[in-house]
Amino acid sequence: MIRRLSGIVAAVEADLICLDVSGFGLEVYATGTLIASARVGEPLTCAAYLHSSDAGMALFGFSDELERSLFLEITQVKTMGGKLSISLLRHLDANTVISAIKAGDSVRLAVPGLGPKRAERICFELRAKVEKKFTAIAGVEAQASGGSLDAGVITGLVGLGFSQSEALRAVSSCRVEFADRTWTEEDLMMSALGRLQRR
C-alpha cells in the first residue's frame, strides 16, 4: 500500500501532477489544494493512495491526511469511483465537503461531473460517518469558518467569469503561500483575482 510520496514535480496539469520519484514519472490525480501548491521543478511530498478497480490502477495525491481519509470515505459511496471522488476534492476543499455533508447540503456538492443525485447519495450515506469521524479531528471546526470565507470568494470569482476549478486553485494557492496570514474576504478576493489575471 502506498501512503506517502516524495519527489520533484515534473509537470502540473488541470487534474493531475507528474511526480518524478527516483527516476519514475508518476501520474498522480490530485486534489485542488495539492495542485495549487505544486511548482514544476520543486520538491513535493504528499499523502497518497493507490486505487485498484475494474478500470485499472490509479494513483491519487492529497495535501494532508484529512483529504486522504475523506477521499477513502467518499469512494465507499455507491457509484463513486476514485476519479469522481478526487474530482469533488479538486473543486471543493475538504472542510467545505465535510461541512456540506454534515449539514445535508447536497447542492454545495453538485460540482461539475457530479450531479445532484450522487451529491444527495453522498450526504445520505456519509452524514453519520462524517459526524462521528471528522468532528474529532483537530482543527476541522476551527477551519470551517475559513472554508465558508473561501466559498464566498470562489462564488464571487465564478461570478466574474472564472471556472470553479480556477477559482479554487487561486484561493488555495493564496492560502498555501501566505499560511500565517489572517484573511478578510475582500483581501482574499483581491489576491486570488490578481493571480488569475496574471495567468
Domains in the chain and their CATH numbers? Answer: 140-198 (1.10.8)
Average pLDDT, 10 consecutive residues per value, the chain (199 residues): 90 94 94 91 93 86 90 92 93 88 89 89 92 59 52 79 76 76 85 83
**Integer Cα distance of 153 and 184 in angstroms:** 10
Nearest one of 105, 196, 113, 187 to 159, comparing CA atoms = 196
Q: Which pLDDT score is estimated for 147? A: 56
**Integer Cα distance of 42 and 9 in angstroms:** 6
Compute the residue count for the chain: 199
Cell 489575471 locates to 197
Q: Grid coordinates in use for 152?
A: 464566498
CA 56 distance to own-chain centroid: 23
Please give the helix or strand (H or E) that residue 157 lies within, else none.
helix 140-159
Q: Which pLDDT score is estimated for 199? A: 62
Q: Which pLDDT score is estimated for 135? A: 59
Nearest one of 49, 37, 81, 74 to 26, comparing CA atoms = 49
Nearest one of 13, 8, 17 to 42, comparing CA atoms = 8
Q: Which pLDDT score is estimated for 152? A: 76
